[in-house]
Chain A
Amino acid sequence: EAGVAQSPRYKIIEKRQSVAFWCNPISGHATLYWYQQILGQGPKLLIQFQNNGVVDDSQLPKDRFSAERLKGVDSTLKIQPAKLEDSAVYLCASSPLIRGGYGYTFGSGTRLTVV
């Protein structure tokens, strides 16, 4: 089974520029998540999709961050404009919709550096 694919692996941009990250989850996984992980901290959920609908985006800074999941498969996360504090690893994860809970499968992440 192929894992969760993310690209790019690394990205360096200047503040106020825009950037986009891409995620391809495991085939058949209904739920997709974007997490932000700042160095030395645990991952923080930005947005959760179920199929192509948003379930939770309460911690997404909507003035600068946006995300979409077209056709309930791939997803993109965009930051515009970027700030220095957005420097972090952006992790995508997916899970099947199974009663009782299920572990997430994470991608390798995109390391963003804003200078």
Chain B
Amino acid sequence: SQQGEEDPQALSIQEGENATMNCSYKTSINNLQWYRQNSGRGLVHLILIRSNEREKHSGRLRVTLDTSKKSSSLLITASQAADTASYFCATAYNQGGKLIFGQGTELSVKP
């Protein structure tokens, strides 16, 4: 069964705008990860946030984690057309354990 649920399922924005995607999960986790998948390609790891962390940044990406609400958000600032892809959150119960993926958010950035 899927652990994470992403919201929204699809998001369409203009280039330069910010994009926010949310992920909720059901049980306690060790870490949460975000991945990007371009059409017809494999997944690319974007960022990992551990259960004792609240916020992480990587370039134009900002991830937050609220373990009390069992939720995470991914913010992409100043979006570019090249950011068009599907974004997945994945949760791990324990270090070294399997990742369980959500259904993904399909992001479309229009030039």
Question: Are A and B genuine complex partners?
Answer: yes
A residues near B (Cβ < 8 Å) are: 4, 31, 33, 35, 41-45, 48, 50, 55-56, 91, 93, 97, 99-109, 111
**Chain B interface size range:** 20 to 34
Residues facing A in B77-111 (CB within 8 A) are 88, 90, 92, 95-96, 98-104
Q: How far is the CB of B48 from chain A (nearest CB, A)?
A: 5
Report the separation of the CA atoms of residues A84 and B95 in the bound assembly, to the nearest whole angstrom: 35
B residues near A (Cβ < 8 Å) are: 2, 4, 30-31, 33, 35, 40-45, 48, 50, 88, 90, 92, 95-96, 98-104
Report the separation of the CA atoms of residues A44 and B4 in the bound assembly, to the nearest whole angstrom: 12
Report the separation of the CA atoms of residues A44 and B102 in the bound assembly, to the nearest whole angstrom: 9
Report the separation of the CA atoms of residues A35 and B4 in the bound assembly, to the nearest whole angstrom: 16
A101–B43 touching, CB < 8 Å:
no
